[in-house]
Amino acid sequence: MKEQAKQKVKELVGRFRYNLDVYKKSAYNETQVRREFIDPFFEALGWDVSNKQGHAEQYKDVVHEDAIKVGRSTRAPDYSFRIGGQRKFFVEAKKPAVNIKEDVAPSYQLRRYAWSAKLPLSIVTDFEELSVYDCRIKPGPKDKASVGRIGYYTFEEYLDKFDEIYDVFSKDAILKGSFDRYAQSAKGKKGTAEVDSEFLKEIESWREMLAKNIALRNPDVSIYELNYAVQKIIDRIIFLRICEDRGIEPDGQLQSTAESTGVYPDLLNRFRLAESKYNSGIFDFEADAVTSRLKIDDKVLKAI
C-alpha cells in the first residue's frame, strides 16, 4: 500500500515539475490545484477525498469547507480530515503563486482555524510547498510564517521524505496511532499554550476591564456588588455564546448587540429574554438587584 502511494505521488510530482511555469502563474487558481494535485495527493495517502464510498455525512473521511467558529465568525477550512466523524487535522489550500514558506496570511489563517477547533496539527499547501504547523501555539496576526511550523517540504522532497509524510498523515498511520504519537512528541515546545488556558486568561482580562469600568461609572457600588456583577455578566455572556455555538440561539445575536449603540441596555434585554427561556439561575433577576441598575461603557462590552 505504501509503495503504491509513493508511486502515485511520484507521478504527481513529475507532472507538476514538467508544467511548473504554468502552475506558478496567478491565473492557475486554488480550485485547479486542489482538483489536479492536492486531492490526488491525499487520496494516495489513503483518504477518500471525494467520498467515492458514499458514506453518510457524519462518516465521511474528508469534509470540504467544514464550518467552524473562529472568534465571533463562522469560517470553513478547505479540508477537514476525520476518523469516525472526529476531526484529526485541517488542510488549507492555496494556489502555487502563493509563497507558503514566507507569506504570513496562509499560516495565520490555518492556525486560527485549527486553534479554534483544538486540533494539534494541520497543514497549509499549494502542492509546490507543504507546511505542517503545531496549532497549539496561539496564533497572532503579526506572527511570521515560521511560528509554529514543525515541518516544511517542497514538492521535490515529497519522494525523498515520503516516509515522514506518510507515517504521520496517511489514513493508515492515523488509524494505527502514529499521528497522535507525533502530535504528542511535538507538544511542549516553547511558546505553546492550550486553548482552555488561554481562554481563562482572556476571561481574567474581561473581568479586569469590567471591574474598572463599573467602579468608575458606578461609584456607589460596594466591593461585594462589584465582584458579583462582574461574575454574573461574564457568566451570562458565556452562556449565551455557548448557546449560539450549539445552535440553540441564532448565530450572531451577541455580535449584533455589541455593534449597537447602548450595548449594555440591549444586553440586559437579551438576558431577560434568556430568563424567560432557560431554567437557569444565571438569569434570575429577582435574586439580582445589582446588574440591572449599572452603567457600563460600550467600548468595554464591545471588547468582550
Q: How far apart (Å, rounded) are the C-alpha atoms in residues 84 and 57?
A: 11
Confidence of residue 56 (pLDDT cuts 50, 70, 90): confident
Structurally, what CATH architecture does the domain formed by 2-186 represent?
Alpha-Beta Complex (3.90)
pLDDT tens per residue across span 121-155:
999 999 999 999 999 888 888 888 988 898 999 99
Question: What cell does 15 get?
Answer: 507532472
Paired with 46 in beta bridges are none
Is pTM beyond 0.75 here? no
Judge whether 241 and 254 are in contact, CB under 8 Å.
Answer: yes
Q: Which amino acid is at 135?
A: C
DSSP element (H, E) containing 134: strand 129-134
Measure the CA dihedral 102/108/114/116, to 10°: 170
Q: What are phi and psi of 150, to 5 degrees?
A: -115, 0
Q: Summarize pLDDT for 24-50 with one digit per residue, the tens.
A: 998 999 999 999 999 999 999 999 999
